[in-house]
Structure 1
């Protein structure tokens, strides 16, 4: 501790952070980097595998439900009109009475501080193996085994060049997987949906875990340049969403320690890590992700489990709402936009949302370039006037405006262990099961089978709340039950995640939350704190800070222990918040 008080923060990050890999998985993107880095790599959390079962791109997911009932359609239109009234813009089906009134226009000169490439087109992924002729040494007998027999027999002929050029890549990772032409024979797999492993009858658990291992292994090799044989020199910090169940955390730990071969690992929650990432100790953390949002309160470096709220919507839903709004107003070009069969269209919508959507009063239009993508053809450009751009982000407060869920969450029957990582279960006395081997602690049992011997204590699963964002924040803070803490939390709201970058969101949250607090509560001030770090990766940064400060404590799980024995539920080795570090974390935020 004396050393921590005297050492320069950048020196400590350099000393301890060079062998710490921070992994922050999310529904849409995974953020990975060394703790000593200023920012992580952000990579779409998906993988595409070549398949012979489909003649075109197939999205391997659970059943898709895109049917809109009459009641849902009416609720959506009603929500739009409520928002229109608040923003002082025409209602959904109301024509502008005086078209001579100038409308507020977005920038059209190509400059945008958040996204300098807002009008740039995406390109289709080249799914073929690169021309091997240039990479294979000339006429070497030792190298001929690398070339197919038919090519060897016709060496130097046009047939050889055609055979090599038409070989498909077996696996494609990250954003490249989202830009595969629909006509290509690939199965696209998203590893996490709505804050959970994307397990369904169409995507079995074993396949999900194999794909997760393959993607993370590729990131470590291609982005961080850490080959498999060197990973025992590294430790991993897992910064996991609050939405994860303990079963999911165990499976991921098995991959990190077993398959990826890290020497040790520790688990921290996103909300807690975000507090440390901003140099705080107490805050209400609002995590606005791509497919799920969550709210949790942290007091003096300890996350409070009874304050957790999970909301089943996020940034991608706002993007889909943007498309619906434009189609209703007939401002969307006459192009085939389908985010299910063409994930590249979702990339386009996300970019438009990030570049043009904001929360502000008055009519908000913008001239934008919308790109269309048809099977392997170059992108088409369509200059169009987008309208009502301030409506989609307001859906955070009025979620009935959002299009009904295309991606239902995984079946909860898969999870047999509802133990929440926040619960202090190591103080509970568990009876020893008669079928447990005598060597259970320690045991020669294989690590992966260790969890089969877990005592089974059914607990309530985490529930998704049918609330708007303001109601969720208010309910979370008021559930603490202490007026002094409530007042402090209402003035210490922290927005994290990509959606937190939305223009005008901070004053909107402050205003909406203030109006949501019941009148009988003696609370009159609401404040959202400006993030000192990019909200997109502030939780990743907090994980790095926790890692360098907390390295060597008992919370770390070592590979040998995991493989030999697993972790006994009563041993005190719990993946729990580290609350001894908030004082030290303050000075590391800007390092």
Structure 2
């Protein structure tokens, strides 16, 4: 047992020992004092010069200011006067043109790629398709489009040359009922507008189409014969791009299969088995478009800059992979990104508008305010002009269209269908009449066939599918979904971070009423998203709307009386990211269930309702903003170029507002300066790319090599 320790005084008294302190530290380690928790401060990442991207941007601005302060001397004439003294305006225009000639604007879509220099007046358009060698072509592996069913015995089952047996167009009772209802509404509208109508219009169409016989025209007598792409059997090319791919015969030796890398605004995961191959095909299409349309070689692109147009409501991996491909594979010196709605507002010169972009396979609605898209107003619908084409020929084949074997998966039939749709469709009731039309069927290695046919109201009812999307078949649009790319997750909390808006969530919620009725003994299926609230990962300045009463919380995305979307669950409110109905699930589990619901449903909605919902969520109850948006609607995109489309959309929006008891002046403007609505987005992106001094969204090659995708957080104009 150790002796008890004695104090200093006791030691001095008993033993004469005195303890002294020489103030020497026991070690050389510095003593760290405790932080005063009531008052401490740090400057870490709080100044712009501590962020590399912003620091280099400030240094570049300083260099430009220094060069402007000491301009180079101007050339002088013999009298010692400056030659450019009276030509400042012309010199500035030439400088802008030279600046834009080094910028390439790229707008990829589901059907077309629009590409060109920022200094060009209009872009070059090429099909967004590539043909690769395969065992069979797409028409030999895909089901006929429109779908066919087998005919009964005794019916005509042979096509125009007896080559194959063709079934009848698939009939559906619900489709026929909806179609007949639309036809009746059209008749009522025509009567109210004093339009002349024949009582036997359908019989006239059927009788003419059933007895018509095609006329054969020899190839040397056809002045508009098609130059088909020649395929060499000895040394076939690995791929063909754009128009060349569409001109390859379906029965070529060897076979080629058409691949569309972008479908319905998504990357085409259905027809691809490799991420690398899909992105490689997009790269090849862009490079070939630059080479053939802009006459530039790939080696020259390192001195050019690019502007990429992306959807408003996008998937995060789409932007990151596209930027990675443009910066690392094509090697542009700089790149910037702009959203479609903002680009359209730039092209039209509007600072505040509701942009309705009707594309080939998707339709988007977004409100733009002060040159920025309102994040909660973004809507992305998965139907467009291609669905109109399919519906048009489904209706025409039901009315004994003479070319019975038409198949939209066959290349020459696809080209023919696009040509006929452009000539026929209209949403003006004055064009609805029994009319006779002609078309020439041109096929590889065969004589041209001249057909005569009649059409009545099909050309009007087909584009009405934008306002009645239940007429369309949407099931195939989810095939292959999430087979190559999973959702994007945040690196910090591992939560899905793809952007979502309350307007889009309201559309998903409205689809919950279309859940199939269960059997009497089976339990009822849970409503779509009933266990959770849509978690919007998009940064925004304020929360839309105020919370409802505790006793009854609105459904996710449901419209409140003021037209605002509420993020809540069907059975309880959201607290800390976990709903009362979620059974104590973690925020990640709640978010994962929400996105699983989103991935299992195709977002479709009547276009007029989508516009009203988008504006309601953008205004957030502000009456003045709502009036401004309704008075500033603009339709862009190729699908909206149908005659009478704007008037039909305007009338339907007014009628729906009246049924809801709201009165607003609805005006749908036309693109300014007589610009084609198809190129408005590209034109606005070219204007954005030519901005000097105010455009700080350029990503430089050095920045991307160091920071990678993280640099987009600083460079994108929105919360990426």
Shorter-chain TM-score range: 0.7 to 0.9
Matched, 1:412 2:452: no
2:114 matched to which residue of 1?
A: 31
Q: Secondary structure at the match of 1:364?
A: coil
CA displacement at 1:48 relative to structure 2:
0.4
2:671 matched to which residue of 1?
A: 531
Matched, 1:179 2:278: no
Distance 1:212 1:100 in 2: 46
Distance 2:417 2:682 in 1: 25
Distance change (3 Å), C-alpha of 1:271 and 1:100: closer
Distance change (3 Å), C-alpha of 1:183 and 1:168: same
Distance 2:686 2:293 in 1: 17
Query: Mean alpha-carbon deviation: is it higher for 211-220 or for 360-369?
Result: 360-369
Q: Deviations over 1:427-483 (max 9, x none)?
A: 9xxxxxxxxxxxxxxxxxxxxxxxxxxx99978568753211111111111112221
1:573 matched to which residue of 2?
A: 714
Distance change (3 Å), C-alpha of 1:10 and 1:101: farther
Partner of residue 626 from structure 2, selected from 486, 505, 529: 486
Query: Mean alpha-carbon deviation: is it higher for 15-24 or for 177-186?
Result: 177-186
2:580 matched to which residue of 1?
A: none
Query: Mean alpha-carbon deviation: is it higher for 312-321 or for 365-374?
Result: 365-374
Aligned length: 490
Do the aligned residues in 2 keep the contact of 1:33 with 1:39 (CA within 8 Å)? yes
Distance 2:434 2:340 in 1: 35
Query: Mean alpha-carbon deviation: is it higher for 197-206 or for 35-44?
Result: 197-206
Distance 1:208 1:62 in 2: 23
Matched, 1:512 2:580: no
Do the aligned residues in 1 keep the contact of 2:116 with 2:124 (CA within 8 Å)? yes
Distance change (3 Å), C-alpha of 1:519 and 1:323: closer
Map 1:191-206; keep pairs closer than 5 Å.
Answer: 191-200=261-270, 202-206=272-276
Distance change (3 Å), C-alpha of 1:61 and 1:327: closer
Partner of residue 435 from structure 2, selected from 358, 366, 375: 366
Distance change (3 Å), C-alpha of 1:208 and 1:550: farther
Do the aligned residues in 1 keep the contact of 2:630 with 2:664 (CA within 8 Å)? no
CA displacement at 1:508 relative to structure 2:
0.5
Matched, 1:555 2:697: yes
Partner of residue 127 from structure 2, selected from 28, 39, 44: 44
Do the aligned residues in 2 keep the contact of 1:123 with 1:379 (CA within 8 Å)? no
Map 1:257-406; keep pairs closer than 5 Å.
Answer: 257-330=327-400, 332-340=401-409, 342-361=410-429, 363-374=432-443, 376-388=445-457, 389-406=459-476
Distance 1:257 1:197 in 2: 19
Q: Deviations over 1:42-89 (max 9, x none)?
A: 1110000123x33x4568999999599x99923322332232223217
Q: Secondary structure at the match of 2:104?
A: strand
Distance 2:189 2:540 in 1: 57
Do the aligned residues in 2 keep the contact of 1:20 with 1:547 (CA within 8 Å)? yes
CA displacement at 1:124 relative to structure 2:
5.7
Distance change (3 Å), C-alpha of 1:243 and 1:62: farther
Matched, 1:189 2:259: yes
Distance 1:100 1:416 in 2: 50
Matched, 1:251 2:321: yes
Distance change (3 Å), C-alpha of 1:50 and 1:412: closer
Q: TM-score, normalised by structure 2?
A: 0.62
Matched, 1:235 2:305: yes
C-alpha RMSD of matched pairs (Å):
3.7
Do the aligned residues in 2 keep the contact of 1:367 with 1:385 (CA within 8 Å)? yes
Matched, 1:564 2:720: no
Distance 1:67 1:102 in 2: 25
Distance 1:60 1:275 in 2: 42
CA displacement at 1:352 relative to structure 2:
1.1
Larger Rg: 2
Distance change (3 Å), C-alpha of 1:181 and 1:225: same
Distance 1:122 1:387 in 2: 29
Do the aligned residues in 1 keep the contact of 2:146 with 2:394 (CA within 8 Å)? no
Distance change (3 Å), C-alpha of 1:11 and 1:72: farther
Map 1:122-201; keep pairs closer than 5 Å.
Answer: 123=226, 125-129=228-232, 166-184=234-252, 185-200=255-270
2:503 matched to which residue of 1?
A: none
Q: Secondary structure at the match of 2:355?
A: strand
CA displacement at 1:408 relative to structure 2:
3.5
1:22 matched to which residue of 2?
A: 105
Distance 1:387 1:505 in 2: 18
Distance 1:478 1:7 in 2: 44
Q: Deviations over 1:371-412 (max 9, x none)?
A: 335554244221222232211111111112224455436513
2:684 matched to which residue of 1?
A: 542
Distance change (3 Å), C-alpha of 1:536 and 1:90: closer
Do the aligned residues in 2 keep the contact of 1:57 with 1:181 (CA within 8 Å)? no
Distance 1:379 1:527 in 2: 46
CA displacement at 1:179 relative to structure 2:
2.4
Q: Which blocks of at least 5 consecutive residues in structure 1 are unaligned?
A: 104-118, 130-164, 428-454, 579-591
Do the aligned residues in 2 keep the contact of 1:196 with 1:410 (CA within 8 Å)? no
Do the aligned residues in 1 keep the contact of 2:474 with 2:602 (CA within 8 Å)? no
Distance 1:288 1:519 in 2: 25
Q: Deviations over 1:108-163 (max 9, x none)?
A: xxxxxxxxxxx99672632325xxxxxxxxxxxxxxxxxxxxxxxxxxxxxxxxxx
CA displacement at 1:558 relative to structure 2:
1.3
Distance 2:411 2:125 in 1: 18
1:470 matched to which residue of 2?
A: 608
Query: Mean alpha-carbon deviation: is it higher for 290-299 or for 8-17?
Result: 8-17
Query: Mean alpha-carbon deviation: is it higher for 463-472 or for 279-288?
Result: 463-472
Distance 2:256 2:187 in 1: 47
Distance change (3 Å), C-alpha of 1:243 and 1:194: farther
Q: Secondary structure at the match of 1:355?
A: helix
